Structure formats: structure tokens, C-alpha cells
């Protein structure tokens, strides 16, 4: 009996030790690098603020214009606040546009672009990413436009008599240029909308990309639109599927690796928040 109890106690102690070691490792991984290890973190601590680039980009980052409550919400904001909390500083949003978000990051106008940003090969050459989501797009157009509704495949949009619109500086821009080499492309400035809806409604363009998560909400709010692909209301679309992440400047490994460790721990909560906002938008 003594041997059995001793064995049980030993097993429990080993299990407890393992749990504590895992918890300790997780805690250490999320402890910011010490002074001198990361010039970026040293500068953030000295300033007392974490400058985060923001642009309205639901469901990851949603601007609150009511004047009540926090100015932003969504999984991007949640993660940005966690970074600031662990660093012991305040979070300071720096409002940018889709056209300026990467140049502003490179120009050191922010410490991190919480955006998020589509992780494209071109961007990966000039900035690093803290990946926390993924996305794909639908193509949408007017329901009474046969050029749009007659399309059976994505290649049917790649024709000289088709005009496609997209936001300048958005992640879809290089993908649109690479995929639709025969179509007429219209790069338009983003006036605050989630997609070039006015371009479509005005008849200046036949189709445009929109994030698949945002489509159900837009289709309810704006009548007379159709979507491609139609199946499951485009929620299974794989068009331009890419990873989404926060942008940081290159050559800052201690800072970037720490951010990634924090995201790894936060990932389940971030996914739940993204789903919550998406469902709220689509009601």
C-alpha cells in the first residue's frame, strides 16, 4: 500500500511539475524582451505609448464613431491592447488609409500596423507579419448586369469587355493585376467603404472584390447586388485566399518574435472575437 500511494504521489508531483513548467514557459515567452534586447521596445517604454496603425477594416478592426466607449473594437484591437498591457504602456491609435498604411509603417509613424494587412509576397519583402487570421474574397456586381451574372468561372471576368474595380493600396490590388490581365482595371481611392460599392452601383465597373465575411451584411444593406461564387452565399470562397497579419518593420527580430508569441497564446480568443463581430454584422 505504501508503494502504491508513493507512486500516486510521485505521478501527481510529476504532472504538477509539467504543468508548472508549461505555464512558466508560456509566461516567459510573453514577457517582453529586457532592456537593451529590442531598440523598438526600449523606445516604446520610454515614450509610454504603443503607436498602432488603424484603418476601418471589419470584422478585425471596427471604428466606433458614437463617441461612447472605446474608439475601436475587433480582434486586431484586442491583440493591440494586449501588447500595450504587457509592455506597461498606453495604446495610441494612428489613423491611416489603405493607401498609406504600409508607407506610414516604414516611415516609423507607428510601432505596428494592426490593420490587418493581407500577407502578399510583395509586402513580405519590405515588412514582417504577425499572422493571426486569413481571408478570401467574393466578386460582386449588379444583379441586372448580364456581364456579371453570366459568369460561370472566375476566368469569365478576365475579358476585355469587363471592367473590374478595386481599392488602391488594398491587399487585393496586386492579386487583381496578376489574375485579370485582359480585363479593364479601375483603381479607386477608398472613401471609407468596405468595397467599391459606388463603382458598381454607378455602372462604372462590372465587378469588384469584397471580403467574403463582409458580403452577407452588404447584400442585406444594399439591394440589387449579386455575388460570385453563389454557393453558400460565397462563404466558402477561395478566391485570393491569403493570410492576414499585423505589419512590423523588418530587422527587429526580438520585437517581432515576442509579438508572435503573444498572438499564439491569444489566438483562440482572437478567433472567437472575429466570429462574434462577423455574426453581429450579418444579422
Within this chain, domains 34-134+243-281 and 135-241 share the same CATH topology: yes
pTM metric for this prediction: 0.67
Return the CATH number of the domain spanning residue range 135-241. 3.40.190.10
Taking only the tens place, the pLDDT of each residue in 67-93 is 899 999 999 999 999 999 999 999 999
> What's residue 30's pLDDT?
78
pLDDT digits (tens, 9 = 90+) for 120-168: 888 999 999 999 998 899 999 999 999 999 999 999 999 999 999 999 9
Per-residue confidence at 6, pLDDT binned at 50, 70, 90?
very low
pLDDT at 118: 85
How do the domains of the chain map onto residue ranges? 1-30, 34-134+243-281, 135-241
For 202-234, what is each residue's pLDDT tens digit? 999 999 999 998 898 899 999 999 999 999 999
What confidence tier does 62 reach under pLDDT thresholds 50, 70, 90? very high
Q: Which fold has domain 34-134+243-281?
A: D-Maltodextrin-Binding Protein; domain 2 (3.40.190)
Alpha-carbon distance of 57 to 75, in angstroms, equals: 11
Amino acid at each position: 500500500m505504501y508503494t502504491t500511494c508513493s507512486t500516486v504521489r510521485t505521478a501527481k508531483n510529476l504532472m504538477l511539475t509539467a504543468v508548472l513548467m508549461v505555464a512558466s514557459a508560456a509566461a516567459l515567452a510573453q514577457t517582453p524582451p529586457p532592456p537593451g534586447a529590442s531598440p523598438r521596445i526600449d523606445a516604446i517604454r520610454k515614450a509610454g505609448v504603443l503607436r498602432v496603425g488603424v484603418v476601418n477594416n471589419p470584422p478585425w478592426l471596427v471604428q466606433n464613431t458614437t463617441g461612447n466607449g472605446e474608439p475601436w473594437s475587433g480582434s486586431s484591437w484586442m491583440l493591440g491592447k494586449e501588447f500595450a498591457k504587457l509592455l506597461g504602456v498606453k495604446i495610441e491609435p494612428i489613423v491611416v488609409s489603405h493607401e498609406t498604411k504600409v508607407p506610414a509603417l516604414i516611415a516609423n509613424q507607428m510601432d505596428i500596423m494592426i490593420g490587418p494587412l493581407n500577407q502578399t509576397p510583395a509586402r513580405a519583402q519590405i515588412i514582417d507579419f504577425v499572422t493571426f487570421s486569413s481571408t478570401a474574397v467574393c466578386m460582386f456586381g449588379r444583379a441586372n448586369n448580364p456581364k456579371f451574372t453570366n459568369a460561370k468561372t472566375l476566368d469569365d471576368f478576365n475579358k476585355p469587355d469587363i471592367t473590374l474595380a478595386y481599392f488602391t493600396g488594398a491587399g487585393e490590388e496586386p492579386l487583381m493585376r496578376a489574375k485579370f490581365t485582359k480585363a479593364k482595371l479601375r483603381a479607386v481611392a477608398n472613401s471609407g467603404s468596405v468595397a467599391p460599392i459606388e463603382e458598381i452601383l454607378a455602372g462604372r465597373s462590372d465587378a469588384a472584390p469584397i471580403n467574403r465575411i463582409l458580403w452577407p451584411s452588404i447584400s442585406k444593406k444594399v439591394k440589387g447586388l449579386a455575388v460570385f461564387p453563389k454557393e453558400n452565399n460565397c462563404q466558402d470562397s477561395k478566391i485570393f485566399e491569403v493570410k492576414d497579419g499585423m505589419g512590423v518593420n523588418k530587422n527587429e527580430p526580438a520585437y517581432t518574435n515576442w509579438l508572435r508569441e503573444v498572438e499564439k497564446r491569444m489566438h483562440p480568443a482572437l478567433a472567437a472575437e472575429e466570429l462574434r463581430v462577423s455574426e453581429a454584422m450579418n444579422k
